[in-house]
Amino acid sequence: ADVVPNGVEAHRFGGCTLTRDDAGARMGWPGRTVVLAVGGVQPRKGSRVLLEAFARARGRLPGKPLLVVAGGDGFFADPSAVAAWEDDAVRLGLVVHRGLGAPPGADVARIGVVDDDDMPVLYRAADVLAFPSTREGFGLVVVEAMAAGLPVVTSDIPVLAEFLRDGDDCLMTPVGDSGPLAQALVRLVNDDDLRGRLTASASDTVRRHTWDEAARRAEDIYADVRQS
């Protein structure tokens, strides 16, 4: 069967003209090293695994590291899951701030839903996207981040492994394992050469997942059907 994946407006996510520092200042965390997660606090997003990985990694990250969690908690929000995540933060010694920005004493900023027009600035204000999902329909956030030039670490679930290449356009770690995820975060933040290689290769991945490419592939499928 032929499958046409979702697309992204690559020009929009890659068109932010702000510097990294200016974007961070606009979002309210100037000078912070930012690990970004988009998708809210949900079990299927690997939120608790990421929290533990960040706690393990932060001592090896430069400056004052900040985990930013953007997005709502989904159509099937589970208050007990959010409560467990918050309990984990306390256990791990992480100070959580709710709302935009992040005071100096915060380790984690849970900023909620970000306006679509502000997403390019959010990506520019981060140092790495962490996407440790346990299941996904596709993973559009990954391609958006890549279009913005942000290096990405994901879980190795099949739907992501179908279009991503570990060590080529991203780093992939075993699903549900905070240890390798922490190591990947440290590598991506601290190794400029690795970041450069991954983001350069990721530009090819983005080109395969634009709406223009999706339209072209759909047209090809319809043309084949007409001829059959």
Give the domains, in start order, of the chain with CATH numbers: 10-227 (3.40.50.2000)
Helix (H, G, I), strand (E, B) or coil at 34: strand
**SS3 (DSSP) at 134:** coil
pLDDT reported for residue 228: 77
Share of the chain above pLDDT 90, in %: 77
Query: Per the structure block, which two tokens stand in for 92?
Result: 């791990």
Does residue 106 carry a pLDDT above 70?
yes
On the question of pLDDT at 68 being above 70, the answer is yes
Write the CA distances from 64 to 1, 33, 174, integer angstroms: 48, 6, 27
Per-residue pLDDT at 6 = 75
CA 178 – CA 34 distance, rounded (Å):
18
84 has a pLDDT exceeding 80:
yes
Q: Which of 4, 8, 30 is nearest to 19 (CA)?
A: 30
At 85 the pLDDT is: 96
**pLDDT score at 25:** 96
Task: Report the SS3 class of residue 54.
Answer: helix
Percent of the chain at pLDDT above 70?
95
Quick one: 100 exposed, middle or buried, by C-beta within 10 A (0-12, 13-18, 19+)? Answer: middle
| β-bridge partners, 152 | 129
- pLDDT level of residue 10 (50, 70, 90 thresholds): confident
Mean pLDDT of 152-156: 98
Report d(CA 213, CA 4) in Å as an integer. Answer: 9
Q: Please give the Cα distance from 113 to 125 (Å, whole number).
A: 16
Name beta bridge partners: 130.
153
For residues 24 and 32, is the Cβ–Cβ distance under 8 A?
A: yes
5 vs 36, which has greater pLDDT?
36
This model's pTM is above 0.85: yes
| Distance separating alpha carbons of residues 66 and 68, to the nearest angstrom | 6
The answer on pLDDT for 79 being more than 80 is yes
pLDDT attached to residue 92: 98
Q: Is 99 helix (H, G, I), strand (E, B) or coil?
A: coil
The sheet carrying 65-70 orders its strands as: 96-98, 108-112, 65-70, 33-38, 128-131, 152-155, 171-173
Helix (H) or strand (E) holding 66: strand 65-70
pLDDT at 216: 77
Q: Is the pLDDT of residue 76 over 70?
A: no
> What integer best gives the mean pLDDT of the chain?
92
Nearest of 133, 134, 132, 131 to residue 142 by alpha carbon:
131
Question: Which DSSP symbol is given to 45?
Answer: G
Residue 171: predicted pLDDT: 99
